[in-house]
Structure 1
Amino acid sequence: MTREKFCYEVATVTKFIQIYCTDKHKDEPKHKCTQSLSYNGEADVASVEFELCKECEHMARYAYARLQACPHIEKPRCHRCPHPCYELDMWKKMAKMMKYSGMKLGLNKIKKLFLRGGD
């Protein structure tokens, strides 16, 4: 995967986990973190800031580690990968987060269209 694709994937997974955590773990204490990520032997390729509960922070760090170790030149979608690197329970948690956040992002786009008057 290219450096640009890696950065895009990191930003996407961060956004999805942040949305899920904000909505589903409202009452959990959150703490702000910054993590620098390396990729393909290159240090500090991406820097990620997030404010998550402990459970979601663990999921984010797990996802970052998997992205950093992804061996594919052309990264497939994880659910179509011939050699999945996520443990089954973590894959199920991530799928739940991605589904929820994806639906929420889609609904927000539709809502904005209606608020703008369909322009």
Structure 2
Amino acid sequence: MTNEKFIEQVSTLAKFLKTHCNDKHLDEAKKEIGIDLFYKGENLNFMVSTTLCKECEELFRYTHQRLLECSHEIKPSCRKCPHPCYERDRWKQMAKIMRYSGIKLGLIKIKNLLKF
């Protein structure tokens, strides 16, 4: 995958996890985290930062590591990948988060478009 695609993927994960965490983990303590992005040994001079609870931070770091280790030059969606790298439970957890956050962020986008 290209460096730009890698940055996009990690940024999307951060946004989706933050949306989920803010809505579902209201009572959990959250902290600001930042990850300087490196890909294939190259510093991308890009930092992804977000605010997450401990559980979501661990999941974010796990998914970031999976992206780093993805062996596909053209990355398929994880759902269609012939060589899944996620542990089954983590994959199911991320699928729920992606579905929830994707719908929520999509609805917010539509709502903002309809405002005059």
TM-score under structure 2 length normalisation:
0.94
- Say if 2:8 is the partner of 1:5: no
Please identify the structure whose Cα radius of gyration is greater.
1
**Could you say which residue in structure 2 is the equivalent of 1:15?**
15
Aligned pair count reads 116
The one-letter code sitting in structure 1 at the alignment partner of 2:48 is V
The one-letter code sitting in structure 1 at the alignment partner of 2:67 is L
The one-letter code sitting in structure 2 at the alignment partner of 1:3 is N
CA contact (8 A) 2:3 2:44 kept: no
Structure 2 counterparts to residues 28-107 of structure 1, below 5 A: 28-107=28-107
Give how far 1:65 is off: 0.2
Q: Percent identity?
A: 53
Runs (4+) off by over 4 Å: none
String of CA shifts for 1:9-67, please: whole Å, max 9, x gaps: 01111100010001111110001111223211213553211110000000100010011
SS of the equivalent of 2:115 reads helix
SS of the equivalent of 1:10 reads helix
The answer for unaligned runs of 5 or more in structure 2 is none
The one-letter code sitting in structure 2 at the alignment partner of 1:58 is E
SS of the equivalent of 1:68 reads helix
Aligned equivalents of 1:44, 1:32: Cα separation in 2: 21
CA contact (8 A) 1:7 1:45 kept: no
CA contact (8 A) 2:31 2:52 kept: yes
The answer for unaligned runs of 5 or more in structure 1 is none
Please identify, of 105-114 and 81-90, the stretch whose mean Cα deviation from structure 2 is larger.
105-114
SS of the equivalent of 2:27 reads coil
